[in-house]
Amino acid sequence: MIYSNISSHLKTILFGLCFLLFTLIIFVQGTTIQTDRELVQSAIEDYVLALYNAEPERIERSVDTTLHKIGYYDYDGQSYYHVPMTYQQLYDLSATWNINGDQANTDSPKKIDIYEVNDKTASAKLTAQWGIDFMHLSKSETGKWKIMNIMWQSAPR
């Protein structure tokens, strides 16, 4: 009798523990923990959407203030114009470049190829309306990924 009583309590406890474990598993699966690769992707998406949607606050989130950006713009189909840009110039440009929706739209390209993600550095390529951006990103001490360097050119001929 005592044995069956203990067995019944044990079954109840085990059932309760299993239920709690199952609930915890469901909760953890529902909780999104972003990987570094996803965070790099998100930083690059913020960058391109800042320009496409005229949202400079996205530049603040995704680009380091020490940005080094250099570009090659094909302005006549025969030669490239060398264009350096600072963080502040990029920030200002993002507020106006597509303000009227005449530079990019919902069908404009925003293809992101992430080449490598390490614990502190990452490299990627963005194909956008204006051409191709090659990027270097770094991870801050707070875990935030920021774009540090961009080398770009107009769409290849």
27-76 pLDDT, tens per residue?
A: 444 445 789 999 999 999 999 999 999 999 999 999 999 999 999 988 77
pTM listed for this prediction: 0.78
Alpha helices in 32-86 (DSSP H): 36-52, 56-62
Residues 89, 75: Cα–Cα separation, whole Å: 20
Phi, psi of 97, deg, nearest 5: -55, -45
Residue 79: per-residue pLDDT? 76
Strands 63-74 and 145-153: parallel
pLDDT band with cut points at 50, 70 and 90 for residue 126: very high
Strands 121-128 and 63-74: unpaired
What token pair was written down for 25?
């598993």
Q: Once rounded to an integer, what is the mean pLDDT over residues 88-114?
A: 97
Q: What SS3 state is found at 55?
A: coil
The residue that leads in pLDDT, 97 or 75, is 97
Give the end-to-end CA distance of the chain in Å, rounded to a whole number. Answer: 88
For all residues of the chain together, what is the average pLDDT?
87
Minimal CA–CA distance to 85: which of 101, 66, 111?
Answer: 66
Residue 102: per-residue pLDDT? 96
Q: Confirm if 44 and 147 have CB atoms less than 8 A apart.
A: yes
Q: Once rounded to an integer, what is the mean pLDDT over residues 121-128?
A: 98
Residue 52: per-residue pLDDT? 98
Residue 19: per-residue pLDDT? 58
Residue 77: per-residue pLDDT? 73
